[in-house]
Amino acid sequence: MKEFIEFIAKYLVDKPEKVKVEETTLDENTVELTLKVDKTDIGKVIGKKGNTVNAMRDLMIAVGGKEHRRVVLKIFDEIGKDENK
SS3 83: coil
Whole-prediction pTM:
0.81
Coil, helix or strand at residue 11:
helix
Give the number of other CB atoms < 10 A from CB of residue 71: 20
Side chain identity at residue 51, one-letter code:
N
Q: What percent of the chain has pLDDT over 70?
A: 91
Give the helix/strand (H/E) hosting 41: none
Q: Which of 3.30.300.20, 3.30.1490.20, 3.40.50.970, 1.25.40.10 would CATH assign to domain 2-77?
A: 3.30.300.20
Is the pLDDT at 85 greater than 50? The verdict is no
